[in-house]
Amino acid sequence: MSDAVRAKAPVLSVEGLSIALPEGGDRPFAVENVSFEVKPNEVVCLVGESGSGKSMIAHAVLSLLPKSVDIAAGAVIVAGQDPAKLDRQALRRLRGGEAAMIFQEPLSSLNPLKRVGRQIEEMILTHQKPMPSAIEVHERVQQLLTQVGLPNPKLLEKSYPFELSGGQRQRVMIAMAMANRPALLIADEPTTALDVTTQRQILRLIDDLRRDRGMGVLLITHDFGVVADVADRVVVLRHGKVVEQGTVEEVLRSPKADYTRELIDAVPKARLDEIRRTAVHPTPLLEVIGLEKTFRVKRGLLQPPREVVAADGVSLTLYEGETLAVVGESGSGKSTLGRMIMRLTEPDGGAIRFNGQDLRQLRGEALRQARKQLQIVFQDPFASLDPRQKVGDAIARGPMAFGTSRTEAMEQARKLLVRVGLNAVAADRYPHEFSGGQRQRICIARALALKPRVLIADEAVSALDVSVQAQVLALLAELRQEMKLAMIFITHDLRIAAEIADRVIVLQKGRIVEEGATADVFTAPQAAYTRDLLDAIPGRDFFDQPGFASVTGALPTARMSS
């Protein structure tokens, strides 16, 4: 950071901000005595896990807090103004004028019934005085769409949000935010819902725009990889309090607070020296041969149905006791593969051999018996448990369906709950009483209750905070040893794949583009696509440097030269 930048007045300063939660919550303040600044041409990352209050702060900047919470103390100063003290008109000029905001879910953040061009026009028309002519506005929209790297802006401005990809939608959001050349951009988890490669593009775009315009950026994220890639300065939050703040080098290289250190350690690292090379057990347990699946999506009457190839001759072998990671971006067919192995989705062609039988030929009781040995854990621990069923029942129901007595099944369920790190009394409680990580542990217990030989984990840790993610991964690794499980680990996050898998399969549009031992795939990727994916891992440059903080907690003091 140059002295010139340092000297400039901050575009955002948060001064001793406390936001009170309504009474009866788990804590009195969502945010307590938080202070930090964002200067022009600077990216400040606000990092924390869910519930840390990071989004609350972002919302307070534009006075967008829900009605139930109040600023109890302190102030937010944006471009010299306190939004909480502005009248309506002035606040509206600030929102979208001096400060603009983009959100995590670009699909739900855009009006589904309005063409995207119109949504950007609206931003210009609201703020530019005197009102520009229709032609000027249109030109400006075209220019903005081009600036955010969208192809064919003429066609694109006429599109509805549902017709665009996730990355395109976020670019539209950014184009909209840039419309009035704001001094401050607030980005609330802008890449969390996107694929790694798209994430990298969007982060680069934000960084380029920042540099072009000397704009200050407040980026909210839970991902230290993202922090390492884009931040100038970092503010670490926990339970609404600032745990630590400083430049990215200070915080990442030599964290002062234990909590920061824990968070950094919890980042799954594609650290090559730590990738295991487990001797593969020679007996194949599950063989998938030439699996085919094409989804046909109906469109208008005249148009032929759109075909989406989810599996195009996918073959894989899973050996006993092995963990196989299936990685790929959204739409690569990785979840469909898992579902086809479970026979939850019927393949169009190919064979699935398990234990000497072709699963595709099995019907009725034989299929039921085979399924018992193949279990799956889904991504969303909130949606995959019946909210009206007690946790114990959810776990015991499986064994009971296979003839275990209720008393015995419940006894087992309690033991399993203890095994996955919960309390036995959890059996008598309902899913909503548990946190996301705890629920995922319940889902794992449920899957293991049937003593399966193969566990399919479909993005099983993707919805969890990093620290929780690390715990659940550790649990899975232990259980794998203990129960001699073979695991298919489906994930979009290559860092997780590197941490947990013996072998990796890379899927792209339903085809296997690369397959091999984890260490080989990560050190010497053969396919260009794999290299793209590896390059896109956030924070890779930073965390891969030798001597960086390792999982064992040794703290190197070497500083990155910048």
Partner 1 sequence: MIRLGSAATIGLMALSRIAQLVAVILVIATFNFVLVRAAPGDPAQVMAGQSGASDPKLLEDLRKEYGLDKPYAVQLASYLGRVVRLDLGYSYRQRRAVVDLILERLPATLLLTVTAFCLALLIGTTLGALAGLAAGSVLDTVFTVLSLVLYATPVFWLGLMLVLVFSVTLGWLPPFGYETINVKLSPLEHVLDIAKHMIMPVTSLAAIYLAIYARLMRSSIIEVAQQDFIKTARAKGLSGPSIVVGHMLRNALVPVVTVAGMQAGALVGGAVVIETVFAWPGLGRLTFDALLQRDYPVLLGIFLILSIVVIVLNLLTDLIYRLIDPRMTTGAA
Per CB under 8 A, 402 contacts partner 1: no
Q: How far is the CB of 59 from partner 1 (least distance, A)?
A: 8
Neighbour order of strands in the sheet with 12-20: 29-38, 12-20, 70-78
CA dist 95 and 189 (Å) reads 19
Per CB under 8 A, 220 contacts partner 1: no
* Per-residue x/- track, 438-477, partner 1 (CB under 8 A): ----------------------------------------
* Per-residue x/- track, 80-99, partner 1 (CB under 8 A): --------x--xxxxxxx--
Q: Give the one residue of 306, 368, 484, 559 binding partner 1; rule: CB under 8 A.
A: 306
Q: Which stretch binds partner 1 (CB under 8 A): 302-310, 328-336, 368-376, 489-497?
A: 302-310
Per CB under 8 A, 165 contacts partner 1: no
* Per-residue x/- track, 103-142, partner 1 (CB under 8 A): x-x--xxxxxxx-------xx--xx---------------
Neighbours of 559 (CB within 10 A): 10
Q: Give the one residue of 21, 45, 148, 173 binding partner 1; rule: CB under 8 A.
A: 173
Q: Which is nearer to partner 1, 97 or 321 (CB)?
A: 97
Q: Which is nearer to partner 1, 97 or 525 (CB)?
A: 97
Buried b (16+ CB within 10 A) or exposed e, 277-288: eeeeeeebbbbb
Element at 176 (helix H, strand E)? helix 166-178
E runs forming strands in 248-301 = 284-297
Q: Give the one residue of 4, 135, 301, 554 binding partner 1; rule: CB under 8 A.
A: 301
Phi, psi of 344 (to 5 degrees): -85, -25
Token duo for residue 149: 């790297």
Per CB under 8 A, 296 contacts partner 1: no
Q: Which is nearer to partner 1, 169 or 293 (CB)?
A: 169
CA torsion through residues 163, 164, 169, 172, sign: negative
Cis peptide before 130 (omega within 30 of 0): yes
Asked whether 436 and 464 are in contact (CB, 8 A), the reply is yes
Q: How far is the CB of 277 from partner 1 (least distance, A)?
A: 44
Residues in the chain: 562
CA dist 504 and 488 (Å) reads 10
CA dist 350 and 366 (Å) reads 19
Token duo for residue 275: 């990738």
Q: How far is the CB of 132 from partner 1 (least distance, A)?
A: 16
Per CB under 8 A, 299 contacts partner 1: yes
Binding residues for partner 1 (CB under 8 A)? 62, 64, 88, 91-97, 100-101, 103, 105, 108-114, 122-123, 126-127, 160, 162-163, 173, 176, 297-303, 306
